[in-house]
Amino acid sequence: MKSRFHFTVKLKLIVGFSVLGILLFVMFKTLSDAQEGNADKLSENIDLNYPSMLYTEKLKDLIQESQFLVTKWTLKGDVHDTKLLNEIESCHGELYDSLRSKIVGFVDKDRWSDKNKDLYFKLTATVDTLFSLQGDVLDNLSNEEKFADATNYSFTKFNLLEGELSNCYKRSFRMATQLSNQFLNASRNILEETDYHLDEAHYTLQYSVLAFFGLMIIIAFILGHSLVTPVNYVKDKIVEMAKGSLPEVTPLKNNDEIGEMSEALKTLVSNLKETSQFAINIGEGDFSTAFKPQSKQDVLANSLLVMRDNLIKADKDAEQRKIENSQRNWASQGLAEFNEVLRNAGDDMQVLSNRVIEKLVRFLDANMGGIYIVDDSDENDIHLELTAFYAYDRLKYVKQRIEIGENLVGQCFRENETVYLTDLPKGYVHISSGLGEADPTCLVIVPLKVNAETYGIVELASFQVIEKYQVEFIEKIGETIAASIANVKINMNTQKLLEESHQKSERLAQQEAEVHKNIETLKSQIESLQDQNKRETIKYQKLHDDFENQAETNSSVIQKLNEKNEQLKNDYMKHQFILNNSAGYYELDPQGFFVLMNNRLLNSIDMPINEIENHDIRSFMTGQDVENFNAILGKLSEGLIHTGTTKYVFDGKTVYLHETFTPFRDEYNVLIKICVIAQNITQNVNRTAELERQVNDLKADNEILNARILGLQ
């Protein structure tokens, strides 16, 4: 009996295509599984490793920033620097708590390994200890008395730089770096594993294609030439794709599965081309290219979109940092240039005002500017006086008096706050040039104040808007200008008092010489009378009455001279009282030993009189200043007045005095004493040194920031 089973063409097609279908299913399933596995790994990198590494890096930066701020505050020595204290408090409190809350979200959900958890807990414990030790440093130096305690300050500084606190900082920084590297290594491992799976899928695709070709050959012998051409076409396109090429695909007209495969292949190639072009545009920095994923499940396209958004954000952040760095460099350069201008201005208020306003207008690219100085020479008539005005490369000396509270300048002085206007009152000010006249669009009025005392007002007008950071720069440099104005005023008052003192001293010396001359004349007359009395004893009785009258006359003259001498002494005491209450004053003997010193100067240098009196002034000098004083002493012996600044060390504390040495000589031109008017300018010198140090710190911070940006790139 014959079998009814026939291996027909239809059955062969069913079997052949079934086998091909199974093979294709396995191939695409393998690729799909590999793609999904890679997507999961990339998702783990994006959702876990990268945020964890970012937060631990921020924690490491916070540790470094806190140590830097505490060190800066300690070395700066200003217990009233609330800005630094607030930044330190923010590091210890709000910023630290915010980072911990973000990291705890990963730890509480068991998304970290036990090893990373243990390392994190050790790190937080070490950071808590570090912040506690830093808090102890702030407590140990919480006021000026503790800063002045050399032992306490040296111990705290050693602990901060080399002691327990420094070691704790290094441990916490090292642990934070180790934890960050853990996530960095995990991220790298995932990327390497992804590359491995991609290579494996590539090999699987190649093997599947080879199997597919083998079956196609077998089926070709069975099905004939009618199926070979379309299948070979599809096969050739797939081989090109396996080599990394994206060929042009023309859909086949077959109304069967092969035709559908060609359509799907065309769609796949088209999508891959769009995705590839989008990735190329991103690589070239073009983030504006429109791109839409095929679906929410299009992992590759969605990942590229996320990457583009992150790159856009990073580019914007870098641009913002570049702008901020440029502004900081601009401000640092301005501070340095203005310090140079102020140092070279001397003690002439007019020269100082002209140079400052000229530099300020040019540096800010403004169009007009003026400086008003407070005139408080009369307590009953305090007002603002325009000392310098600058516009369009021309100095204009315009005398102008402004009362307190009058117009915007007077109101600014009264309220002691900056005035910033972009909508100026009509007709408030005009700017004229050879091209015509126009109203400015921006006006800035800043009080020149230091230590809560205002010494003047600076007013700037411009056609362009003056930016906020430029206004902040004007306010900051205003403190330095105010300090210079105060110093010039002090020097002018000191010079005035010195000249008055010198004139009074000359008058006193002249009067003393006259008294001395009159006394010598009287003595000569008395001696002459006595000789005459001895020689003419016979005429004694006759001349007795005349001699009595002459004696009475001489007594009256002597009494008048004594009264005049007493008046001169009173004038001298008044002059001495003025010196004692207006400025520092001391006297030296011809060898340079202290004879006396007033209380004002003793309080300024914080020294008792018994440690100053009868001591050589050179014992409080160092180095070249001793040789300079010996040369000054020689000039004083010749009757020359000397003015200058000298560095002293009193009880271990450095003091800078601006002094005027005035010599006093007897009738034989022999030096008998030296009177000195001194002004303590230590704060001005230290403030200048501190400003220079801050500029250097800003430059160093800028170099560190640039190095970090280069490292990120």
Q: How confident is the model at residue 577 (pLDDT cuts 50, 70, 90)?
A: low
> Does 572 have pLDDT greater than 70?
no
Question: Which residue matches tokens 């959702």?
Answer: 47
Q: Tell me what the mean pLDDT of segment 642-649 comes to.
A: 88
Least confident of 233-237, 475-479, 481-485: 233-237
Cα–Cα distances (Å) from 174 to 64, 133, 170, 178, 326, in that order, read 11, 18, 6, 6, 32
> Does 681 have pLDDT greater than 70?
yes
Q: Rounded distance, CA 54 to CA 163, Å?
A: 30
Q: How confident is the model at residue 556 (pLDDT cuts 50, 70, 90)?
A: low
The residue extents of the domains of the chain are 47-201, 327-488, 583-680
Q: How confident is the model at residue 568 (pLDDT cuts 50, 70, 90)?
A: low
Q: Are strands 383-391 and 368-375 parallel, antiparallel or unpaired?
A: antiparallel
CA 588 to chain centroid, in Å, comes to: 45
Least confident of 33-47, 190-204, 237-251: 33-47
Between the CA atoms of 403, 408, 411 and 413, what dihedral angle is there, to the nearest 10 degrees? -80
Q: How confident is the model at residue 287 (pLDDT cuts 50, 70, 90)?
A: low
Selected residue with higher pLDDT from 146 and 13? 146
Q: Tell me what the mean pLDDT of segment 492-506 comes to.
A: 77
Cα-atom radius of gyration of the chain, to the nearest Å?
46
| Fold category of 47-201 in CATH | Four Helix Bundle (Hemerythrin (Met), subunit A) (1.20.120)
Q: Which residues pair with 107 in a beta bridge?
A: none
Judge whether 588 and 594 are in contact, CB under 8 Å: yes
* Residue type (1 letter), 72: K
Q: How confident is the model at residue 433 (pLDDT cuts 50, 70, 90)?
A: very low
Q: Rounded distance, CA 45 to CA 460, Å?
A: 54
**Cβ-proximal residues to 638 (8 Å cutoff; 6+ apart), any chain:** none
> Does 255 have pLDDT greater than 70?
no
Of 371-385, 413-427, 474-488, 608-622, the range with the highest mean pLDDT is 608-622
> Does 220 have pLDDT greater than 70?
no
Q: Where are the beta strands (DSSP E) in 499-641?
A: 584-588, 594-597
CATH number of 327-488: 3.30.450.40
Judge whether 440 and 463 are in contact, CB under 8 Å: yes
pLDDT value of residue 542: 58
Q: Which residues pair with 447 in a beta bridge?
A: 457
Q: Which residues pair with 642 in a beta bridge?
A: 661
* In CATH, 583-680 is 3.40.50.11810: no
pLDDT tens-digit series, residues 392-401: 444 444 447 8
Least confident of 155-164, 265-274, 288-297, 359-368: 288-297
Least confident of 166-175, 485-494, 650-659: 485-494
Judge whether 550 and 529 are in contact, CB under 8 Å: yes
> Does 290 have pLDDT greater than 60?
yes
pLDDT value of residue 392: 43
pLDDT tens-digit series, residues 503-536: 877 777 777 677 677 667 766 765 676 666 566 6
Here the contacts of 682-685 (C-beta below 8 Å, separation 24 or greater) are: 682/654, 682/655, 682/656, 684/483, 684/487, 684/656, 685/656
Q: Rounded distance, CA 195 to CA 35, Å?
A: 11
pLDDT tens-digit series, residues 311-368: 777 777 777 778 777 777 887 777 787 777 777 767 777 888 888 888 888 888 888 8
**Chain mean pLDDT for the chain:** 76
Q: Is-same-fold flag (47-201; 327-488)?
A: no
pLDDT tens-digit series, residues 57-70: 888 888 888 888 88
pLDDT value of residue 1: 41
Burial of residue 21, with CB atoms counted within 10 A of its CB: 0-12 exposed, 13-18 middle, 19 or more buried: exposed
Q: Rounded distance, CA 41 to CA 47, Å?
A: 10
Q: Tell me what the mean pLDDT of segment 273-279 comes to.
A: 75
pLDDT tens-digit series, residues 688-709: 777 778 767 777 766 776 676 6
* Residue type (1 letter), 584: G
Q: How confident is the model at residue 593 (pLDDT cuts 50, 70, 90)?
A: very high
Q: Rounded distance, CA 308 to CA 323, Å?
A: 23
